[in-house]
Amino acid sequence: MRFERSHTRRAVALTAVGSLVLLVSACGGGDDGSSGSGSGSSGGALEGRGPITFATGKDTSGNLTNQVAAWNSQHPEEKVTVSELPESADQQRAQMIQNAQIKSDAFSVLNLDVVWTAEFAANRWVTQLPEDQFPDLGKLLPSTVDTAKYRDKLYAVPVTSDGGLLYYRKDLLDKAGVQPPKTWAEMKAACDKVKALPEAKSMSCYAGQYEKYEGLTVNFSEAVNGAGGVVVGDDGKPNVDTPEALEGLNFLVNGFKTGEIPKAAITYQEEPGRRAFQEGSLIFHRNWPYVYALASKTDGSSKIAGKFAVAPLPGLKGPGVSTLGGHNYAISEFAKNKATAADFIKFMSSEERQKANIEKTSQAPTWASLYEDATLNKQFPYLAPLKASIETAKSRPKVVKYGDVTTAIQEAAYGALSGTTPPKDALSQLQTKLSTLITQ
Amino acid sequence: MSTSAPVAERPAKPENNKPRRQTSFNEGTGRLAAMLLSPTLIVLVLVVVYPILSALRESLYQSGQRVDADGFIVQGSEFVGLDNFAAIFQGETADRFWNAFYNTTFFTVTCVVLETLLGVAMALVMHKAFKGRGIVRASILVPWAIPTVVSALLWKWIFQADGIANAILGTQVLWSTEGWQSVLSVIIADTWKTAPFIGLLVLAGLQTIPDEVYEAAKVDGANPWQTFTRITLPLVKPALLVAVLFRILDTLRIFDLPFVLVGPNKSSVETLSILAYLEANQTRYGPAAAYATLLFVYVALVAYMFVKVLGADVIGEARAKTPKNNKKSGGRRDNKLEPGAAAGAATGSVTAGGGGV
Amino acid sequence: MAVAEKAPKVVDVKAAEAPWYRRWLPLIGVGIIVLYCLLPFYWMIVSALRRPTDQFDNSIIPRHWSFTNFTDVFKAGTGFGRGLLNSLIVAGTVTILTLVIGMVAAYTLARLDFKFKNFVLAIIITTSMFPGISLVIPLKKLFSDIEWINTYQAMIVPSLSFALPLAVWNLTAFFRQMPRELEQAAMVDGCTPAQAFRKVIIPLAAPGVFTTAIITFIAAWNEFLIALSMVNKKEFQTANVVISQFTGTSGRDQPFGSQMAAGVVVTIPLVIAVLLFQRRIVAGLTAGGVK
């Protein structure tokens, strides 16, 4: 290994050139791969049996392990491995998309948030499912099944659902002699009466989730829908610049103006809102079913244990409209053993498994009959209002570019709520924006 | 794994040159340099240069933006030239870009200045000999050692509407809403987390200064401020500049803190990295790559300016073959003697860097 | 500089008579800096020691002490223990490789004269200029082509490439400060250049080398995005990825307490290890060095 000085420059230069050539050819190769695709066929054959993976955010109670173990003991040749994703929904989606981008078969069954269905279907990242192979669909709440469809074709099976509930301070309402409200006006009147009580003087009337994130889209849509408006109509066209929508938005905007909604609520996600309610600083609170168990804790962490109850959300002229949450299970287009994957989805969405799931995790099932189950109703007293909430709930827009749509909605709503944009302008800007986003 | 093989060769090779000793030190240096640098370069080419080039290429393409009659995304990507870049500078997007550009620059200047001041102070404190200095060193290390994932959450919790920050202040500042307070919360959290980085590197610089130098200064009756500005600072300058340079590169790409602490789509704290992320998150990989490329060019320019203006002794060493004197400490002062030559070398290097893009 | 040119004399610096503020001001400064660094960390520990249901509490001391958050972190099925081990493997390997490769490169850049030197330095730092989030998808494509998904090297090599630029630049600065006469003297004494480097330069640059090691280790230990994207099997996931998977007791509630507990578990051993190593390594190296 002797080195001559004269060769040095050339050697360095050659190394540099060599690596560049390598790089360029590597890029060329990548190009062929990506542009020459089109292998994804639309739905149909679910073939192949064998081991699969299930990509999901970690389950909360450890119950998923039991569910999967139950499957695995019945299907030793078709074992399911859980691929745990981060807790953050954004990161779950990002991981699934990354794997779809490289056409990886690492994930077989995907646990999709309801709002991702359209995007995953349109990109052919998930396989279309033949409806006749899923006979139980008719026994699920219809609104939940609707979230699993894109352009009237089925791409997933709803396994859990979620709907907004109105939590209220039963003790204070009783003391003030008012009934749980069905309309916003009734709620305001109830607040006035409750706030006349000495112990409720410093309380705020109402809060939902108004931080600039997905929760704001949910709350804004509920306000608009609750006033009889729509964000995106049934025909798939945005129609948010209407008097009804304005009345809905004004319910929130005026709430902030008059102080019925506390100022801090502009930073609320689910958890800070729950805290405010548990600390006893809210009379009414819009949140998901999960709050029930936590606010009922008698270990001193909740000041309102036993003092609250739930009702369906109020609206402008009658009962309000919740925005639908929940999760659907779908099969990755790039998965192997899709027949097994389909069976696993049927297994997980079965009545028996869903019952086991709600018992352990208190997640809302999609199976309609479970809401009538007496023992479950005893364990979860909010099931009846929850069912009402889910049955009448509206889906968020089913559009491919859902991310852009929800960002636009948040932008408009946040501007109006924080007082930087007049509500009317916010809605007309939103209408313009949505029109360009959704015609694509 | 391709990295381990060349590494293993390292100790063996120079020992083969044993008989040539002193001469081998400066002869055949180019070849030798290529040998010795190849592991570093191979790793970088494999993992960074390739993705960068493919991202640059991506910035010229668009894909997945059109839906066909059946509602499916049209597959395949389409060459669009510089359209993705042009789109950034049009209409509302341009406002957003320049806002993010301003925020990025503002965060970088503010955070790096604060971190440098704090970091140097930390280093001086850590360097002092006193009882319990181990504890002090450990505590200064703590913020830097906490995983970013966790510390961002910690600060988010601290800055919540009814979090401890407001409880201490006795007011209700809504930190995550648009405005100065959200900017401030990011600056506080970032400074807290990364000042120790500068502190550690400067401390290492301080530790290589021999005590004799300080003693000499003492004898000459230099006051502490003079000792600091005339001795300490010049001698730690190389270490300090490297630390600051890397902090600048990092802060220009700041993402986690504004994103987690304040949230996406908040114009007060939106940075260029966030824009790139948001585009990629909507699977618009072309525009995302275009943002990333612009940010890259900006970072490269800033680094160039920094090295050119301040960083002469960081990389320049176009001379210094001749021994200056026989005193042990003499070599350390080399840096100061020929700033002109060093600056020249620095300029050369960064120009080359620009060509490498 | 004129000051430093004077011949060194031995003077007892510490015993110098000083006004009271000269003694106390530094201590106050130390106190402020330590508080500044530790208060948020204190909050982290306190939050971890509350009951999960009390996680919103603002009391300075937990009202109800509880180790539930810590036991939750290590509960069977979280894989946190395994995650710690994986983090150690990845960060440890990255640190060792970075130091070895980086020291060789830095020494080369500091001592050898060759063309393209500045070009090489520029190229090395250029790789630290691209936003990391934009590198993930191309890298994942590459790694899936060469079947590196779900391997340690898929996490080690990228971390290596992020750590190397800082290591090379920093070490170059340190080596360059070492007087060249040191090696020359050593070589006159019969050392090969490699030996001169190992026995003379490294010990003298020990603070720089050690600092580089700490920084590299912590940076690799804290890496999240690559570890998350390149690995989807539990047995390879690092502690940070495992932390990101924590959930509350029911879907939407945030597991703040256990996240903080995990943060404490991850941080404290790191700091203690650094302290111990710092003493031993610095002591060992300087003792063996040429004085």
pLDDT value for B178 = 93
- What letters, b where the CB count within 10 A reaches 16 and e where it falls short, cover C210-223? bbbbbbbbbbbbbb
Give chain C positions within 8 Å (CB) of A361.
250-251
Residue with token string 């794997």: A99
Give chain B positions within 8 Å (CB) of C14.
129
Residues A190 and A155 in one domain: no
Q: Say if A41 falls within a structural domain.
A: no
Q: What is the mean pLDDT of the segment spanning C220-247?
A: 90
Alpha helices in chain C (DSSP H): 2-5, 20-49, 68-73, 80-111, 117-126, 136-145, 153-177, 180-188, 193-196, 202-204, 206-222, 225-230, 239-244, 256-288
State the Cα–Cα distance between residues A126 and A340, nearest whole angstrom: 15
Distance in Å, alpha carbon of A264 to nearest chain B alpha carbon: 6
State the Cα–Cα distance between residues C113 and B318, nearest whole angstrom: 8
Contact A4/B28, CB-based, under 8 Å? yes
ipTM at complex level: 0.85
Contact C118/B348, CB-based, under 8 Å? yes
User: For C130-186, what is each residue's pLDDT tens digit?
Assistant: 888 888 888 888 898 888 999 999 999 988 888 999 999 989 988 888 888 888 888
Chains A, B: CB pairs < 8 Å? 126
Q: How many CB atoms lie within 10 A of CB B69?
A: 5
Percent of chain B with pLDDT over 90: 40
Query: Do residues A183 and A313 touch, judged by C-beta distance below 8 A?
Result: no
| Higher-scoring residue by pLDDT: C257, C21 | C257
* Domain span holding position A62: 52-162+325-391
- Nearest alpha-carbon partner for A219 in A416, A382, A57: A416
Q: Which of A83, A101, A297 sits opposite C137 (nearest CB)?
A: A101
Q: Which of C138, C232, C246 sits opposite A87 (nearest CB)?
A: C246
State the Cα–Cα distance between residues B150 and C263, nearest whole angstrom: 6
Does the beta carbon of C53 lie under 8 angstroms from any beta carbon of chain A?
A: yes
Query: Which residue is closest to B2 within chain C, CA to CA?
Result: C157
Q: Which of C142, C229, C254 sits opposite A98 (nearest CB)?
A: C229
Distance in Å, alpha carbon of A422 to nearest chain B alpha carbon: 17
Does the beta carbon of C113 lie under 8 angstroms from any beta carbon of chain A?
A: no
Domain boundaries, chain C: 79-245
User: For A162-200, what is each residue's pLDDT tens digit?
Assistant: 999 999 999 999 999 999 999 999 999 999 999 999 999
State the Cα–Cα distance between residues A120 and A105, nearest whole angstrom: 15
Query: How confident is residue C117, by pLDDT bands cut at 50, 70 and 90?
Result: confident
Does the beta carbon of C253 lie under 8 angstroms from any beta carbon of chain A?
A: yes
Look over chain A and give the mean of its residue pLDDT values, rounded to a whole number.
88
Interface test with C, best of A14, A65, A98 (most C CBs within 10 A): A98
Give chain B positions within 8 Å (CB) of C208.
204-205, 208, 239
State the Cα–Cα distance between residues A374 and B52, nearest whole angstrom: 60
Residues A309 and A336 in one domain: no
Alpha helices in B71-210 (DSSP H): 83-88, 91-127, 133-145, 148-158, 164-169, 180-207
Does the beta carbon of B14 lie under 8 angstroms from any beta carbon of chain C?
A: yes
Residues A117 and A265 in one domain: no
Query: Which residue is closest to C38 within chain B, CA to CA?
Result: B139
Contact C3/B141, CB-based, under 8 Å? no
Contact B317/C110, CB-based, under 8 Å? yes
pLDDT value for C18 = 61
B104-270 maps to which CATH number?
1.10.3720.10
Q: Say if A7 falls within a structural domain.
A: no
CATH topology of domain C79-245: MetI-like fold (1.10.3720)
pLDDT at B357 over 80: no
Q: Say if A199 falls within a structural domain.
A: yes
Residues A125 and A271 in one domain: no
Distance in Å, alpha carbon of C249 to nearest chain B alpha carbon: 18
Contact A57/C249, CB-based, under 8 Å? no
State the Cα–Cα distance between residues C37 and B121, nearest whole angstrom: 13
State the Cα–Cα distance between residues C245 and C240, nearest whole angstrom: 9
Chain A, 300 to 339: residues with Cβ < 8 Å from chain C are: 300-302
Given a contact as 3+ CB pairs under 8 Å, which chains touch B?
A, C
pLDDT at B330 over 80: no
Query: How confident is residue A354, by pLDDT bands cut at 50, 70 and 90?
Result: very high
User: For A273-299, what is each residue's pLDDT tens digit?
Assistant: 999 999 999 999 999 999 998 899 888
DSSP, res A56: E
Contact C14/B129, CB-based, under 8 Å? yes
State the Cα–Cα distance between residues A33 and C142, nearest whole angstrom: 12
| Higher-scoring residue by pLDDT: B277, B329 | B277
Q: Sheet of A80-85: strands edge to edge? A: A80-85, A52-57, A109-113, A325-331, A157-162, A364-365
Does the beta carbon of C118 lie under 8 angstroms from any beta carbon of chain A?
A: no
Query: Which residue is closest to A408 within chain B, CA to CA?
Result: B265
Residues A356 and A369 in one domain: yes
pLDDT value for A73 = 95
Q: How many CB atoms lie within 10 A of CB A178?
A: 18
Look over chain B and give the mean of its residue pLDDT values, rounded to a whole number.
79
Domain boundaries, chain B: 104-270, 312-317+324-357
pLDDT value for C290 = 38
- Nearest alpha-carbon partner for C224 in C246, C241, C236, C237: C241
Distance in Å, alpha carbon of B222 to nearest chain C alpha carbon: 8
Does the beta carbon of B245 lie under 8 angstroms from any beta carbon of chain C?
A: yes
Q: Say if A44 falls within a structural domain.
A: no
Q: Say if A15 falls within a structural domain.
A: no
| Higher-scoring residue by pLDDT: A120, A46 | A120
Contact B51/C142, CB-based, under 8 Å? yes
Chains B, C: CB pairs < 8 Å? 400
Contact C112/B245, CB-based, under 8 Å? no
Give chain B positions within 8 Å (CB) of C194.
10-11, 14-15
Q: Which of A273-277, B20-24, C118-122 has the lowest mean pLDDT?
A: B20-24
Distance in Å, alpha carbon of A346 to nearest chain C alpha carbon: 22
User: For B99-139, what is each residue's pLDDT tens digit?
Assistant: 999 999 999 999 999 999 999 998 988 887 777 777 788 88
Give chain B positions within 8 Å (CB) of C184.
22, 323
Give chain A positions within 8 Å (CB) of B64.
123
Q: Which of B45, B54, B73 sits opposite A27 (nearest CB)?
A: B54
pLDDT at C62 over 60: yes
Contact B192/C183, CB-based, under 8 Å? no
Query: Do residues B206 and B236 touch, judged by C-beta distance below 8 A?
Result: yes
User: For C87-104, what is each residue's pLDDT tens digit?
Assistant: 999 999 999 999 999 999
Given a contact as 3+ CB pairs under 8 Å, which chains touch C?
A, B
Distance in Å, alpha carbon of C56 to nearest chain B alpha carbon: 8
Contact A106/C250, CB-based, under 8 Å? no
Q: Which of A246-255, B29-38, B318-327 has the lowest mean pLDDT?
A: B318-327
Contact B296/C97, CB-based, under 8 Å? no
Residues A310 and A417 in one domain: yes
User: For A193-249, what is each residue's pLDDT tens digit?
Assistant: 999 999 999 999 999 999 999 999 999 999 999 999 999 998 889 999 999 999 999
Based on the structure, what is the number of domains in chain A? 2
Q: Which of B41, B71, B162 sits opposite A151 (nearest CB)?
A: B71
- Nearest alpha-carbon partner for B260 in B273, B245, B250: B273
Distance in Å, alpha carbon of A280 to nearest chain C alpha carbon: 13
Q: Which of A35, A97, A420 sits opposite B77 (nearest CB)?
A: A35
Residues A141 and A76 in one domain: yes
CATH number reported for the structural domain that contains residue A232 in this entry: 3.40.190.10
Q: Say if A122 falls within a structural domain.
A: yes
User: For A241-254, what is each residue's pLDDT tens digit?
Assistant: 999 999 999 999 99
State the Cα–Cα distance between residues C214 and C98, nearest whole angstrom: 11
Residues A67 and A152 in one domain: yes
